[in-house]
Amino acid sequence: MRLVGLTGGIASGKSTISNLFKASGIPVVDADIVARNVVQKGTGGWKKIVEAFGNDVLLENGEIDRARLGQIVFSDPEKRQVLNRLLAPHISSGIFWEILKLWIKGCKVIVLDIPLLFETKMDQWTHPVIVVWVNEATQIERLMSRDGCSEEQARNRINAQLALDWKKSQADIVIDNSGTLDETKEKFQEVLRNVSEPLTWKERLRSRDGLFSVVVCTAVGVLLAQKNLL
Ligand SMILES: CC(C)(COP(=O)(O)OP(=O)(O)OC[C@H]1O[C@@H](n2cnc3c(N)ncnc32)[C@H](O)[C@@H]1O)[C@@H](O)C(=O)NCCC(=O)NCCS
Ligand SMILES: Nc1ncnc2c1ncn2[C@@H]1O[C@H](COP(=O)(O)OP(=O)(O)OP(=O)(O)O)[C@@H](O)[C@H]1O
């Protein structure tokens, strides 16, 4: 099994690239969706948030008020750290279960779309690491227009993550998404070819079918050895 890391900065275009992977038949685990699921009303993550931030961050129906919590944590690094520490174990085990489900299905290449891949050091489990990069002016413009936020709020969110240029320097593959969608789609084709290359023998061993072959071969070997000993 090949675990491909997909990351970048906020609004750099990870979901756009994720959608292209999905459209090409490659499954994607989306950490933002996992992070949403683990804080649904009544879950362990939800209880921890209410304990730490109080009822002020709840909507009338009891769900987390994401806009309110976002305002708090993106303007206060200490509070953000608290939230990250509380949710990290829930998010990583959620990602693990999603991978396991796809592994059981026999998927050989899985893309992990994780905005904080480097920040959480999960990059060590993925190869190759793809960084979706945009220049800062484009990033701010797209973030403001997508989320309807001010430039200050956009900068706060960008500064809550490691610098995108640094992430770019750590990448195995960089997708420059500063141009048009058509240009990005063209670049994506090359990335798709790269990611779809035949699995290495290590990756084959980590896949469901590879593990199954090892188990069968070992069992046959043991049976033959026992037969020879009798
Ligand atoms: C703060 C919250 C409530 C804001 O929710 P909102 O719906 O406005 O944003 P959403 O979850 O869609 O995230 C949008 C983007 O913000 C960035 N982001 C989210 N959380 C963080 C964080 N803790 N630090 C830095 N950037 C973050 C990511 O690039 C993400 O793609 C939410 O992002 C959250 O619960 N974050 C903590 C969980 C987390 O770390 N998520 C990232 C998964 S690796
Ligand atoms: N090449 C492009 N040209 C124009 N707009 C784009 C391009 N790529 C992405 N966008 C737009 O920019 C915004 C951010 O893109 P996207 O949601 O894919 O980023 P993201 O990295 O997944 O964001 P987040 O970190 O918040 O999850 C979206 O509104 C998207 O439609």
pLDDT tens sequence across 79-91: 999 999 999 999 9
Beta-bridge partners for 132: 8, 175
Contact (Cβ atoms closer than 8 angstroms) between residue 31 and residue 95: yes
Please tell me whether 12 is known to bind a ligand. Answer: yes
Please tell me whether 23 is known to bind a ligand. Answer: no
**Whose Cα sits closest to atom 18 in ligand 2?**
13
Low-confidence ranges of the chain (pLDDT < 50): none
- CATH for the 1-27+108-150+161-197 domain, from 3.60.21.10, 1.10.150.120, 3.40.50.300, 3.20.20.60: 3.40.50.300
Q: Tell me if residue 209 falls in helix, strand or coil.
A: helix
What is the residue whose two structure tokens read 């070992």?
218
d(CA 62, CA 82) in angstroms, rounded, equals: 21
What is the residue whose two structure tokens read 């790269």?
194
Q: Is the CB of 138 under 6 A from ligand 2?
A: no
User: CA 15, 144, 155: angle at the middle one, nearest 5?
Assistant: 95
Name which of 81, 82, 102 is nearest 26 in CA terms: 102
Q: How many angstroms is it from 79 CA to the middle of ligand 1? A: 13
pTM of the predicted structure, to 2 decimals: 0.94
Q: Is the CB of 13 under 6 A from ligand 2?
A: yes
Please tell me whether 15 is known to bind a ligand. Answer: yes
Q: How many angstroms is it from 219 CA to the middle of ligand 1? A: 47
Tell me phi and psi for residue 160, to 5 degrees. -80, -5
Token representation of residue 200:
């290495």
